[in-house]
Structure 1
Amino acid sequence: MRSLRSTVVSTALAVGLALGLVGCSTSEPASDSAAGSSSVVIPEAKFSQELHDRLPQSVRDAGVLKLAGFQFPPYAYYAKDGTTLQGMYVEVAASLEKVFGVDVDFTVEPSIGDVTSALKSKRAVASLSSLADLSTTEESFDFADWIREYVVFLVKKGNPEKITGLESTCGTTVATLQGGPSEKVLNDYTKECTKTGREPITITTFADQNAAVLAVRSGRADAAFSQQIPLTYYVSQDPNFELAGVNQANGFPNLYFGAYALKGDPIVDTLLGAFEALRTDGLYDAWLQKYGIESNRLEKFGINLATKTPETR
């Protein structure tokens, strides 16, 4: 049996929301219980000779497919011991070993910028991480999309400010990631608030996701504004939180995630084929159930869905 080689490049924090859209890592190791529901049985992935043969010759010769990611729960994160890597993408990487019949070296980089450097320097062939497929990111990368994402609000239990979406944030204090597109969306919408005679949004920015969530917990912010999947993780870890404005645009276009590689690299088509195989074998739906993200299910996988019309997907 081939073993997954999860290389710890750095336990440094992943940096900010780059939407491109990506999330930040937490400021501390995640709870061991965050690895998802242990009651969900994940089926076994099956070897595909056809997909193995579609791998680059260099990968087949070396017997290793090198993938890069960064720490971002529930995709990939460290347990309380600070060294054990866990999460959905860790399981995906292990299953890709079985589909392709080669070892998978899943390397956790310090930040999304380091993932890009790993791709450009050929230290990795592709990435499993939460960089969003957008028209801007497609200028540099091709995406094999298999997850739908939204940007939502994390609030205290009971939603005391009654935030139901972006349009209800006027007059509230919202925490978000510094320099990311979520901050831009809030800045744009606060102008709409004042234009229509409502109180502006007080926008507080933080270097990482954990700090933004802590601002809500301490009462310094009414809500945190970020991706639905990671905020779902935070809610699963703290019963004093809930989500608001879920499954809505909230100022963003349709968001898709999956694997990506440098523009024009044929590995993206091969990874899409592997994702389709994992769905056929039941692993995709099992993972969504295990990590509590069934609402992020994508009915039809595809390449670069952000810039395709429904008719061409």
Structure 2
Amino acid sequence: MTAMKPAFALLALAAALPALAAETPPAFNLSPQQAHIDAPRNPAAIAQIPPGFAFAEPGKFTVAIAGASGPPLALLASDDKSTIGSEADTARLIADSLGLELKVVQTSWEDWPLGVSSGKYDAVLSNVTVTESRKKRFDFATYRQDVLGFYVKSGSSIASIKEAKDVAGLKVVVGSGTNQEKVLLAWSEANEKAGLEPTTPVYLDDQAAATLAVQSGRVDAIFAPNSLLSYIATTRGGIKQVGLVNGGWPLKADIAVTTRKGNGLVASIQTALEGTIAGGQYASVLQRWGLDAERIDHSQINPPGLPD
């Protein structure tokens, strides 16, 4: 999650989306006892842990996950206390690879920077986008692409939204002050210069109204972070994905494990991630939570970040 896209209340959207009579049962297992996707110990990653490194708790990999990331990234299990989702599953892969026990700490988005800087957490997996400003304070190992999605009602005649001309003349629900708003406005401006119809951004604070507007045809699409809309489409139905755009458009935005700057742990985490990518466990986690569109082929340490 970048600092530029907090405004769209996606959790409310998930809660607001009405069930349809023809929908199928939820495809995701929300039980706290669901089977873990495990990774083998990775000797190369373990060897890269700095000698004498002081983990937050000895023998454990303590990871902060902010609940505001939303499903399927982070959500409470059916016991209303256990954190599950793709972030926790990815954290477990790293912990397994490092020969450590995973400890997940539920935190707020505002708390994680101080928590990881102070050593309260060994790492943060909370949909954190790499930016040039954050790279001055933290080290990063990438594990997903930052992806935005265009979604329309299931019966819509709109089959594809891939570029600016595809949104010409459309009404699109978008969050004010977000990355997706910047993309949409840039595309609309390009269309006007090309003699095409402008796009009408629709700002609806009430997410029930936003969802009903899409399903009723009063607006044409929703443009928002892909992960939650994918989750909604799978578990509740009524909308479908017709296009994906990198969240840093026209640049590339990466989601990364976040560690304290200069403490040396990032190299072992990156090696652990590379091992799970090669071993297939990483792909299994993304497939479990419907996030294959956000898959990466290699983990990078401190790649170019978005400008601030």
TM-score interval (norm. to shorter)? 0.7 to 0.9
Q: TM-score, normalised by structure 1?
A: 0.75
1:204 aligns with 2:188: no
TM-score scaled by length of structure 2? 0.76
Tell me the CA shift for residue 289 of structure 1. 2.7
**The residue matched to 1:119 in structure 2 has which SS?**
helix
Q: For 1:269, what is the secondary structure of its paired residue?
A: helix
Inter-partner Cα distance in structure 2 for 1:209 and 1:258: 29
Structure 2 unaligned regions, length at least 5: 18-24
CA gap of 1:242–1:281, structure 2 versus 1, over 3 A, is same
Matched, 1:18 2:14: no
For residues 208 and 267 of structure 1, what CA distance do their matches in structure 2 show? 42
CA contact (8 A) 2:171 2:202 kept: yes
* SS class of match (2:129): strand
SS at match of 2:65: strand
Q: Are residues 1:34 and 2:28 paired? A: yes
Tell me the amino acid that sits aligned with residue 156 of structure 2.
N
Amino acid at match of 2:28: A
Asked if 1 retains the 8 angstrom alpha-carbon contact of 2:277 and 2:283, the reply is: yes
| Equivalent residue letter for 2:244 | V
Q: Does 1:46 align with 2:40?
A: yes
Equivalent of residue 128 in structure 1, options 125, 136, 140: 125
Question: Which residue matches 1:68?
Answer: 64
3-state secondary structure, aligned to 1:130: coil
Q: Structure 2: which amino acid aligns with 1:18?
A: T
TM-superposed deviation, 1:253: 2.0
Shift of 1:247: 6.0
Query: Does the 8 A contact of 1:153 with 1:223 survive in 2?
Result: yes
Amino acid at match of 1:143: F
> 8 Å contact 1:20–1:132 — kept in the other structure?
no
Q: Write the mapping of 1:242-281 to structure 2, written as runs, cut at 5 A.
A: 242-246=240-244, 251-281=249-279
**CA pair 132-217 structure 1, distance change in 2 beyond 3 A:** farther
Residue of structure 1 aligned with 2:175, choices 174, 177, 184:
177
How many pairs does the alignment contain? Answer: 288
Q: Which amino acid aligns with 2:112?
A: V
Pick the aligned partner of 1:101 from 99, 111, 134: 99
Q: 52, 59, 62: which one pairs with 2:55?
A: 59
Q: Secondary structure at the match of 2:300?
A: strand
Aligned partner of residue 120 in structure 1, secondary structure = helix
Q: In the TM superposition, what is the alpha-carbon distance from 1:81 to its structure 2 partner?
A: 5.1
CA distance in 2 between counterparts of 1:224 and 1:58 reads 45
Q: Contact 2:168–2:188 at 8 Å: present in 1 too? A: yes
Is the Cα contact below 8 Å between 2:71 and 2:231 reproduced in 1? yes
Matched-pair contact (CA < 8 Å) for 2:142–2:299? yes
Cα deviation for residue 264 of structure 1 reads 3.2
Q: Who is 1:11 aligned against?
A: none
- Could you say which structure has the higher strand fraction? 1
2:141, 2:82 → 1: CA distance? Answer: 27
Q: Which amino acid aligns with 1:266?
A: G
Contact kept in structure 2, 1:20 and 1:134, CA below 8 Å: no
Paired residue for 1:3?
none
Structure 1 pair 176/232, CA: closer, same or farther in 2 (3 Å)? same
Query: Would the alpha carbon gap of residues 57 and 158 (structure 1) be closer, same or farther in structure 2, given more than 3 Å must change?
Result: same
Sequence identity (%): 23
Over 3 Å counting, the alpha-carbon distance change for 1:212 and 1:61 in structure 2 is: same
Q: 1:283 aligns with which of 281, 284, 292?
A: 281
Q: Do the aligned partners of 1:20 and 1:131 also contact (CA within 8 Å) in 2?
A: no
CA distance in 2 between partners of 1:99 and 1:210 (Å): 42
